């Protein structure tokens, strides 16, 4: 499925590409569930995969840009990464970008600085949306030993489009979650506790702590009521749900994704995050082949 970036074979590069693959599959799978209610109900009740091909969204396109950038520069260089994202945005503006992302990326592509474009939205508060978290899973795989550096880099990647601290906290939480999935054997609440320990204070942090009190036996509707499902497209409305779904299905890629998509809401984005994290935990062999085969290939189109 991934036929780009073949010249990078260092261990962290291979893990970053694995995370990208999981993100793309989850994103494309979740996107299929923006369908009619009867069709969604049938697929969910029977755990029936949607017909191929599955097409990914801006979640994957921005993740591709992040991976390309990391492989070239090792750390986040914000001006260069902003250029990649804005360039890829112009290649296909109909890939599911949210209204705020449209505005920011269009302005960057027209020559405005990302600092100005990102900081002026929402009356100068900046976006606290889930877009900074949706694209960051590969970053968690890129730094094997230094979590403090990872946290810093996650914030830098978020700031280009999301000036609000809550959105940056969401990016940190997902990046740390990915790191722990790749490099530790932590599962369940032990995993969630470590994520919370590195997530900056705020609503996202508090909801991750709340997720610790919610057992796997709860119905998904109860989890959505407690944690959200991305319906508001905010970091605090999205990230905690994803982490709960993954924490309780760490041994099965398909089951984790089915649980995540059953929450509905911003289902391409929640599944993108879950797919990337699960890929890092289970490895290439843990991703069902039919899921990978159904997802559109990642090709040269998205290299800048």
Distance CA 40, CA 18 (A): 28
Burial status of residue 204 (CB atoms within 10 A of its CB: 0-12, 13-18, 19 or more)? buried
Closest by CA to 292, choosing from 20, 86, 5, 25, is 25
SS3 content of the chain, % helix, strand, coil (to 5): 65, 0, 35
Distance CA 55, CA 186 (A): 32
pLDDT in tens, 185-226: 999 999 999 999 999 999 999 999 999 999 999 999 999 999
- Residue 9 pLDDT class (50, 70, 90 cuts): confident
Instruction: Give the pLDDT of residue 2.
Output: 57
- Residue 5 pLDDT class (50, 70, 90 cuts): low
What share of the chain has pLDDT > 70, as a percent? 98
Q: In the chain, how many H helices and how many E strands?
A: 17, 0
- Residue 4 pLDDT class (50, 70, 90 cuts): low
DSSP calls for 122-171: TTTT---BTHHHHT-HHHHHH-SS-HHHHHHHHHHHHHTT--SHHHHHHH
pLDDT in tens, 85-114: 999 999 999 999 998 999 999 999 999 999
Instruction: Give the pLDDT of residue 182.
Output: 97
When pLDDT is averaged across residues 58-68 and rounded to a whole number, the result is: 97
How far apart, in Å, are the Cα atoms of 175 and each of 141, 143, 180? 8, 10, 9
Instruction: Give the pLDDT of residue 65.
Output: 97
pLDDT in tens, 17-48: 999 999 999 999 999 999 999 999 999 999 99
Burial status of residue 214 (CB atoms within 10 A of its CB: 0-12, 13-18, 19 or more)? middle
Average pLDDT, the chain: 95
**Whether 263 contacts 40, CB under 8 Å:** no
- Residue 126 pLDDT class (50, 70, 90 cuts): confident
Instruction: Give the pLDDT of residue 304.
Output: 86
Instruction: Give the pLDDT of residue 194.
Output: 98
Instruction: Give the pLDDT of residue 1.
Output: 59
Q: What is the pTM of this model?
A: 0.96
Indicate if the pLDDT at residue 293 is higher than 60. yes
Instruction: Give the pLDDT of residue 12.
Output: 87
- Residue 175 pLDDT class (50, 70, 90 cuts): very high
What share of the chain has pLDDT > 90, as a percent? 89
- What are the φ and ψ backbone dihedral angles of 48, each rounded to 5 degrees? -100, 120
Indicate if the pLDDT at residue 123 is higher than 80. no
How far apart, in Å, are the Cα atoms of 45 and each of 30, 41, 218, 261, 262? 15, 6, 17, 12, 9
Q: Which helix (H) or strand (E) holds 289?
A: helix 289-294
Return the beta strands (E) in the chain as ranges: none
């Amino acid at each position: 499925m991934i036929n780009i970036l073949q010249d990078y074979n260092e261990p962290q590069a291979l893990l970053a590409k694995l995370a990208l693959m999981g993100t793309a599959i989850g994103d494309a799978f979740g996107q299929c569930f923006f369908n009619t209610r009867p069709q969604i109900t049938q697929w969910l009740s029977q755990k029936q995969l949607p017909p191929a091909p599955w097409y990914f969204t801006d979640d994957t396109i921005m993740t591709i840009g992040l991976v390309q950038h990391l492989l070239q520069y090792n750390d986040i260089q914000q001006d260069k990464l902003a250029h990649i994202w804005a360039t890829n945005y112009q290649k296909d503006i109909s890939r599911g970008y949210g209204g705020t992302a449209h505005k920011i990326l269009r302005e960057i592509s027209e020559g405005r600085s990302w600092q100005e474009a990102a900081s002026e939205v929402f009356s100068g508060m900046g976006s606290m949306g889930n877009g900074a978290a949706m694209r960051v899973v590969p970053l968690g795989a890129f730094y094997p030993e230094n979590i403090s550096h990872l946290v810093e880099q996650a914030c830098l990647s978020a700031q280009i489009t999301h000036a609000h601290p809550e959105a940056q906290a969401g990016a940190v939480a997902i990046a740390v979650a990915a790191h722990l999935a790749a490099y530790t054997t932590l599962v369940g609440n032990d995993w969630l506790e470590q994520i919370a320990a590195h997530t900056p204070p705020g609503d996202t942090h508090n909801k991750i702590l709340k997720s610790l009190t919610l057992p796997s036996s709860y119905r998904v509707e109860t989890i959505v009521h407690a944690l959200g499902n991305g319906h508001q497209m905010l970091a605090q409305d999205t990230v905690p749900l994803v982490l709960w779904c993954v924490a309780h299905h760490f041994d099965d890629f398909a089951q984790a994704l089915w649980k995540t998509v059953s929450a509905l809401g911003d289902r391409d984005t929640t599944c993108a995050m879950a797919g990337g994290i699960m890929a890092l935990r289970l490895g290439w062999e843990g991703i069902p082949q039919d899921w990978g085969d159904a997802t559109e290939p990642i090709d040269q189109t998205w290299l800048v």
